[in-house]
Amino acid sequence: KDAGRNRFEFFSEQLNAESRRKIGLERDLRRAFHERELEVHYQPQFDIASGEVEGAEALLRWTHPTDGPISPGEFIPLAEESGLIVDIGAWVIEQVCEDLRKILDRGMHPGSVSINVSACQLRDAGFHNSVMDPIRRFDIHPPYIQLEVTETAVAQNRDTANSLLNSLRQDGIRVAIDDFGTGYSSLSYLQQMPFDVIKVDKSFVDKIGGGATSDNICRTVIRMAQEMGKKSIAEGVETREQLEFLEANGCDVAQGWYFSKALGKDEFFAFVEQQDQHTQRRKALEIL
């Protein structure tokens, strides 16, 4: 089926092995979720103009007890296919709110935290409550939470998804379009989507400096965000050349290995504290 319709494929031992691994991983993923073995890591996002922490993206991580770290590119699709992503997604939101509360109670301000949302979650009748309940319980100011959705995820159930996202935005939640320009983008459709941020996809950032066409795509996405009064975030920034290009073209925020890898909770707390102290020292010097 993956190879396409109206064709046949010969059986191979590789297919059998892949099938066994998929079934085994799905079983282990359910066990890992129920036994709280999944972790939320945070990749900091930086304001390009000031160099200060602007926020972070929450990223799900899983270390299998025997196979070691499993790529999100492998286990997230399994969670979506099995429907487990709805429960996992609700847990991620809960965990982010709990971690934010701890950071805020220390007097630090990490900016908004982005949480990836799947098409399954946007179809779930309880999704609005799964977002707002922990926000109210942990007393989090709603703009501290930013939901990242892809055009494809919204397009699968457009009217319901747009209504849901509009409702959450009215409650103060921010919405970012992830993977922009990598799917079936439509400018007329973009006008209908409720969002606050456009993310410049890593596949575009990787090609900065690779030629006029590659550079123009990045430049166009950033300019589009500016013209629409939205913020732009570039992901996957790994070189000084990429950062300088983004800064020269007015991109607002950047994240990637050039600044920091995704950090475990304790590492992220220490990172935010260090950045907060640096900002306070800088402001004190400016006053002097």
| Pair of tokens at residue 199 | 């993310």
Alpha carbons within 13 angstroms on the beta-carbon side of residue 219 total 12
User: Residues near 120 by Cβ (< 8 Å), separated by ≥ 6?
Assistant: 80, 83, 85, 86, 89
Name the nearest CA neighbour of 201 among 185, 182, 220. Answer: 182
What's the pLDDT score for residue 16?
59
CA atoms of 132 and 140, how far apart (whole Å):
10
Contact 221, 204 (CB under 8 A): yes
What does 25-70 look like in DSSP terms, one character per residue? Answer: HHHHHHHHHHTT-EEEEEEEEEETTT--EEEEEEEEEEEETTTEEE
Please tell me the pTM assigned to this model. Answer: 0.88
| Pair of tokens at residue 113 | 């935290």
C-alpha angle with apex 225: 222 to 226, nearest 5 degrees? 90
Contact 84, 62 (CB under 8 A): no
Handedness of CA 259, 263, 266, 269 (dihedral sign): positive
What's the pLDDT score for residue 284?
62
Question: pLDDT by residue for the chain (288 residues), tens digit each?
Answer: 566 676 766 555 555 566 777 888 999 999 999 999 999 999 999 999 998 999 999 999 999 999 999 999 999 999 999 999 999 999 999 999 999 999 999 988 889 999 999 999 999 989 999 999 999 999 999 999 999 998 888 878 888 899 999 999 999 999 999 877 776 556 666 777 889 999 999 999 999 988 888 899 899 999 999 999 999 999 999 999 999 999 999 999 999 999 999 999 999 999 999 887 777 766 666 665
CA atoms of 229 and 262, how far apart (whole Å):
29
Can you tell me which residue has the tokens 């031992």?
13
Alpha carbons within 13 angstroms on the beta-carbon side of residue 283 total 8
Contact 121, 161 (CB under 8 A): no
What's the pLDDT score for residue 287?
61
What's the pLDDT score for residue 138?
97
